[in-house]
Amino acid sequence: MAVQPRARTIVSMLCSALLATTAATLPAHAESPAAPASWEVRGPLGSPTAVVSLDPADGSPTLAVRRAGRTVLEPSPVGLVTEQADFSKGLTFTGRTDRAISERYTIPTGKSHERLVRMTESRFRFRTADGARLDLLTRVAPDGVAYRYVLPEDHGDVVREASAFTLPSTAEAVISAYRRDNELPFVRYQSAAAVPAGTYSMQALFKTDGGYALVAESDLNGSYAGSHLTHTADSPTFGVSPWNDEPIQVSGSLTTPWRAVITGDLATVTESTFTDDLAPKSRVRDTSWIKPGPALWTWLAGGKEAGQSLEAQKKYVDYAADRGWPYEVVDAGWYYKPGQWDVIDPDWQTNSWMPELVRHGKERGVEIQVWLHYTLLTDPVEREKWLSTLERWGVKGVKIDFMDSESQERMRWYDDALEDTAKHHLMVNFHGSTIPKGIQRTWPHVMTLEGVGGEEKRNNTAVQLAALPFTRNVIGSMDFTPGAFHRPFRPNVQSDAGELGLTVLYESGIQNLAGTPESYDARPEARRYLEQLPTGWEETRLLTGDPGRSAVLARKAPDGRWFIGGTFAGAAQDVDVPLRLGAGKWLVETVTDGPSGLVRAPHVVRGGDTLTVPVVADGGFAALACRWYAGRTSCDR
């Protein structure tokens, strides 16, 4: 009996659901080489669709991304070329294997501690005319599409990638030029084709007909090099090139990093943990010693002199203790000869005052983290000496600076440094560094990374402040070091409320607060707010925003309170903020700029209401929300 149209529809729906939700025991299947030259990969309900195709004319593979029938990514080249084989064309499809992925993991840093991963993975197998094999591994999740290459056999060094991202011609772009420290500003362009020719960072945001798309990378280690985007004028295509276009050294089989597109509406992209979800599981078995939290960072507060003064550092520790901040970070200078700069004391292990500072801090509930130039840790013997000594002294973390490279050699150094810092129970903050790329899932003792032109830089703008929540900070913790109210160069210098809001708007496992004690004491409302900052977040929600123009995020603390930070570029205005905090009544305490300083104001609202907040030019605000009950007048803990 013929199957009726409605029955065929039901069968089709059931088959799609089975592929998206079945556990990893889903049986593999191999398709015939005569299968169509185009194959779809569908993820869990609501996911985008990846389309892998093979050009019948020249055997070149492409990958496209659609969402709800609309284009996110046009068919884009995939493949790579090695010394011995060209896997960018002349390929023949030989089979496909599918499986569903369902995982849960916890992570001490980031937008949330608890993570749920649901993806569909498809492995497409191709061969060259000479029989060399390339597997294209593709994953689709509700918030993204990613692919990587697997070479089961050694075919020599990788000469180049054919990988590229071709955007729709009308796609808007928010993108930063590439530099080895990843610290250049983001610029907004009306179309992808209007982006000037050049090299760009692998954290580019595009607004397409099918939603936003953030290009990123994940699972980068010393088997490969960090990559950047390349662009030619008047083209909507952005190629992928490894560091300095140097060959990737390969010995044996190869699995490349993931090339990822985080996609969805703006909230989906902003709240995504896709690059973490793609990364390997934690390599640190016992994570009980990994404890995020706010820190008083003494570099912008005291400079070089403070770095060489035990008495100054003790005073900073005392101030952190009074605020309830769990850490104080000692920057450059502490291991140099007294009165000299950049001259290491050869007897630093015996002459250092650091053990005394650690003891002083422990008595007051404040742990110490210290700055190191990465060159101290390049030799394995020297690295062991430094790290073992710091562990013995009781130091809890290291801020490692000036790597300034994403070469394969430097990524191999990262591998070694990560393993050794974990062995010695030292949390890590990387400066002059790569960007996260999944590192915080695999190595959860990485609290934060720079990879951003932070508070100490003088070239930030209000536009940059409003671009970072949708670009750099999407892919992992970002050490912007907010809170430097005393800095005359900050773009929101007329908005102390905006500066305060950055401490929530920007996520960092160690939130290094860069102000002076005097600047905090002169702003009691800011000091009060900073004393409330939690050690981590349970959930992150975008309340409203427009990349490069505005951003308002809410982050949920473990005690159920929501912290809110907002920043805006442009003229003074009253902004409407939707409160996506949950049903029921809430007390929301806003901190805004007034004629005589910061003003704290209570508002009793319902979840889902819109709150109107006054913002000065190139300014912002901070807020704290808690459940309201009769008689409650404050959200203080």
CA distance 73 to 149: 19
DSSP string, 369-429: EEEEEGGGGSSHHHHHHHHHHHHHHT--EEEEE------HHHHHHHHHHHHHHHHTT-EEE
Which amino acid would we find at residue 362?
Answer: K
Q: Within 13 Å of residue 172, how many CA atoms lie on the same side as its CB?
A: 12
Question: Regarding beta strands 427-430 and 397-401, do their DSSP bridges make them parallel or antiparallel, or are they unpaired?
Answer: parallel
Ordered strands of the 38-42 beta sheet: 38-42, 49-54, 61-67, 70-77, 164-166, 237-242, 227-231, 198-200
The CA distance from 449 to 457, in Å, is: 16
SS3 (DSSP) at 521 = helix
Q: Which of 401, 450, 479, 499 is catalytic?
A: 401
Q: Compute the chain's Rg from CA coordinates.
A: 25
Environment class of 311 (CB within 10 Å of its CB; exposed 0-12, middle 13-18, buried 19+): exposed
Q: Characterise 365 by phi-psi region: left (phi > 0), alpha (psi -120 to 50), beta (else).
A: left
Q: Which tokens hold the place of 564? A: 């809110």
3-class secondary-structure state, position 481? coil
Q: Are strands 573-578 and 597-606 parallel, antiparallel or unpaired?
A: unpaired
Strands 227-231 and 158-161: unpaired
Q: Is 456 a catalytic residue?
A: yes
Is 401 assigned a catalytic role? yes
599 close to 525: Cβ distance less than 8 angstroms: yes
Set 345, 456, 531, 539: catalytic member: 456
Of 635, 230, 276, 200, which is closest to residue 475 (Cα–Cα)? 276
Q: Catalytic positions, please? A: 401, 456
